[in-house]
Chain A
Amino acid sequence: MAQAPVTTRGRGGRAGTWYLFLVPALLLYSLFVVYPLLTGLSYSVFSWKGTVRDAFVGVDNYVGLFTNEAFRSKLLPALGHNLALFAGTMLVQNTMGLAFALAFSRARRGKRALQIIFATPYLVNPLVIGYLWTLLLSPTFGPANTLLRAIGPDELAKPWLGDPSTALPMVILITTWQWVGFPMLLFSAAIGGIPAEYAEAARVDGASSWRVFWHITLPLLRPAIGTITVLSFIGSMNTFALVYALGGSSGGPAGSTDVLGLLFYRAAFASGDINAVGTASALAVFLFTFIFGTTILLNRILRQGEEAM
């Protein structure tokens, strides 16, 4: 911030021009974010004949989401799976990310290399990752089960993605495998920003490594934890590609990996319904409102926690 002389001459001469710099970003934002959101909203209050807009129906499409048994019975389980993914991501992926970041922060050599290796999978498209894991976990030809049979009793080999009780945990583990590098990098940066003196002072006072972590490192990581929590929440609520690749559009087996994104996909693209656009738009607006609202709430709670420190 030291070399930012922009405000030194006061606001006078520049007051008229500063907002011009916002225009390009604002245009792009309006075109690609605001406009689609508003059209989605407008689509949802009309009935549709294929891609041709028909009559204004008010909230009928929304009412349909909750009165049509087939939607109503899927909506809550799907939401539950999204939340389970969020919880799993927090517990497994982000905890591991933190552990790796801590371990690497002490590494003398190879830190960069390890960080790159751990972060690489998130550069790969989730569809590709889903496909590869489907092959690895295939009960008939997959190497995972061949390996398990070789090292243990036959019961160890399971249809990991074909059993409703293991499918969702597998989704969490595969998500972790792909994304663990992301919290790791964020935590690494945050840990790098904590002055070493704090820990040294505590050690001089006789604190154990665990106490240093619990009372110094972790509290100072709170902003990073907040950011990761919010990003994980949005990521888990919007998940689509991986579950689609692993369990198909119906979130198989037996709907055990069904999520809100798949529900929307089926409503929009996998039904012969003439009013599919109306129903799907209503669902999309509902999901957006829910995710947006929860994110703001979550953000506020986390902020308050930080300020209270």
Chain B
Amino acid sequence: MRLTRRVAVLAVASLTALVACAPGADSGSDDENVTLSVWGWGPEANYDKMFAEYTKDNPGVKVDARSFTTATEYDTILSTGLAGKDGPDVAWLRAGAPLQPLVAAGRLVPLDNSSVPGLADFNAGVLQGAKGDTDGKVYGVPFAIQTLHVIYNKKIFADNGIAPPKTWEDMIAAAQKLQAAKIVPFAVGGKDDWTLPIITSIFGTSRWGGDAFLDEVKAGKKTFADPNFVAGVDLVNQLKPYFPKDVAGVSYTDAQTLFSAGKAAMFPGGIWEVNFFRTNAPGLDLGTFSAPPPPGSVAGKALLPGFMDGSYGVSANSKHREEALKLLSWLASKKYGQLYTDTVVQFSAVPGVEPKDPILREVAGTYTSNGARYFMNEFAYGNPSSQTVFSAALQEMLLGRITAAQAAAKLDASVATWLKPR
């Protein structure tokens, strides 16, 4: 009997905990003090700090930020939250494909220049990721731009007499030199296959010609079976000897550890890694470079792929639509943009914001002159999504089971199931 009672107590306790965790229970109801709840996937502490600034300027409005850190779960949590009464007033929206089900379900308030004046100044390419595909309306205020490049350990480079490579041959020579010194040249974690389109983009974008190629695919003039795209994918194969041994068995976190422990010299990845390495390995002196153009490069110069990461949208169910739109106007302002880039150490999507961080400044300069669109984010539609299909195909390629041409053919076949050339 004692056991049953203990179980009952436990059950009651966990129920109470559940109820206490129920999201958005107090979305604020008295007129004087409005609490806007904001859901997102970033670290909460950062957002509490930024939104405190908003409350300072707008007394009476509190912003309650809640973070759901894991990638795929967030989409489910958000679509359920927006469908019910206790969802957020303002939510982070993913860019492109994952946004579309929410738009189709009518869960979001369409925005325009009159409801959110700041939108007018945003770069059209950046806004594209916050649009509904069928109606062309904007549903969110973009907050971040992510860039993809090679992050390198300046000390290891200096110790081995290596400078950031200007040509593909330089890069291969550097990799060979590092390998001879028993240092892993590129920390790549091929076990977590979602990282592989990123790696492919970092090394291949210049080879297939960046944005021009993507536009031709969208227009139905070219496909992913194009020899230039295949050659770009094959670059990853050619670099495989310089990845960790058995790269398809090395996890993403292993790759991060190799780099932060100083056992690997370069980490091909997104700008978000910089903040991670700074926090976890404060001693590292970091630099970045864009992969130099490989032989046969269509673009003929190093390209820096990037993408709009997410945007702030307003729930159609929000009881405080007016206040939420006002918050969005602030989120579209330079003040927030500056606050964002200084707090999170990532690029703000707000136009004209200058990051203070030296690495960010350096990358920002290159992005303005050599920026390109990250191919995978624009081709992530379908069920199973073309991103899932291509990630798995790239892993098979690294295992030596299929060629670059076969991997590209899989992406092509998947894209053909949903792409309607315009």
Chain A residues within CB distance 8 Å of chain B: 49-52, 68-71, 74, 134, 138-141, 158-164, 247-250, 252-255, 266-267, 269-276, 279
Contact = CB atoms under 8 A, between A and B. Distances in A.
B254 A140 contact: yes
A267 B384 contact: yes
B104 A52 contact: yes
5 contacts: A69-B413, A139-B246, A250-B395, A253-B191, A272-B98
Nearest to B106: A52
Given A68-B417, A255-B396, 7 more contacts: A52-B105, A70-B389, A140-B258, A162-B190, A163-B399, A249-B72, A270-B385
Contact of A275 (B191, B383, B392, B413): B383
Contact of A141 (B100, B245, B257): B257
Interface string B232-258: 000000000000111111110010011
A255 B399 CA distance: 12
A269 B254 CA distance: 26
Nearest to A70: B384
Contact of B96 (A52, A162, A270, A272): A272
A255 B392 contact: yes
Contacts of A269: 72-73, 75-76
Interface string B79-104: 11011000000000000111111111
A261 to B, nearest CB: 14
A268 B149 CA distance: 32
B79 A50 contact: yes
A272 B71 CA distance: 13
A51 B79 contact: yes
A15 B345 CA distance: 73
A134 B251 contact: yes
B404 interface: no
Contacts of B99: 272
A274 B251 CA distance: 31
A274 B134 CA distance: 12
A253 B383 contact: no
B107 interface: yes
B380 interface: yes
Contact of A140 (B76, B107, B250, B399): B250
B101 A273 contact: yes
B401 A254 contact: yes
Given A163-B249, A272-B97, A248 B191 contact: yes
Contact of B250 (A68, A74, A139, A160): A139
Contact of A271 (B106, B249, B257, B385): B385
Contact of A273 (B248, B254, B382): B382
A120 to B, nearest CB: 18
Given A70-B389, A252-B395, A270-B385, A139 B245 contact: yes
Contacts, number: 146
B395 A253 contact: yes
Contact of A51 (B80, B396, B417): B80
Interface of B: 72-73, 75-76, 79-80, 82-83, 96-107, 190-194, 244-251, 254, 257-258, 380-385, 388-389, 391-392, 395-396, 399, 401, 413-414, 417
Given A161-B191, A161-B249, A253-B399, A50 B385 contact: no
Contacts of A69: 413, 417
B388 A49 contact: no
A70 B411 CA distance: 11
B417 A70 contact: yes
A36 to B, nearest CB: 15
A52 B83 CA distance: 8
Contacts of B102: 50
Contact of A254 (B107, B384, B395): B395
B146 to A, nearest CB: 18
A274 B193 contact: no
Contacts of A138: 249-251, 254
A250 B82 CA distance: 28
Among B102, B383, B395, find the residue whose CB has the most chain A CB atoms closer than 10 A: B383
Among B80, B96, B247, B248, find the residue whose CB has the most chain A CB atoms closer than 10 A: B248
A189 to B, nearest CB: 19
B191 A272 contact: no
Contacts of B414: 70
B388 A253 contact: no
The 9 closest A-B pairs by CB, nearest first: A162-B249, A159-B249, A272-B97, A50-B105, A273-B383, A50-B101, A159-B246, A49-B104, A271-B383
A271 B384 CA distance: 6
Nearest to A253: B248
B31 to A, nearest CB: 31
Nearest to B191: A162
B75 to A, nearest CB: 7
Contact of A270 (B190, B244, B254, B388): B388
A14 B80 CA distance: 47
Given A49-B101, A50-B101, A139-B246, A276 B72 contact: no
Contacts of A52: 83, 104-106
Contact of A50 (B104, B258, B399): B104
Contacts of A267: 383-384
Among B96, B97, B191, find the residue whose CB has the most chain A CB atoms closer than 10 A: B191
Given A49-B101, A134-B251, A252 B383 contact: no
A140 B194 CA distance: 19
B191 A51 contact: no
A26 to B, nearest CB: 20
A74 B75 CA distance: 24
A161 B254 CA distance: 13
Contact of A274 (B104, B191, B246, B254): B104
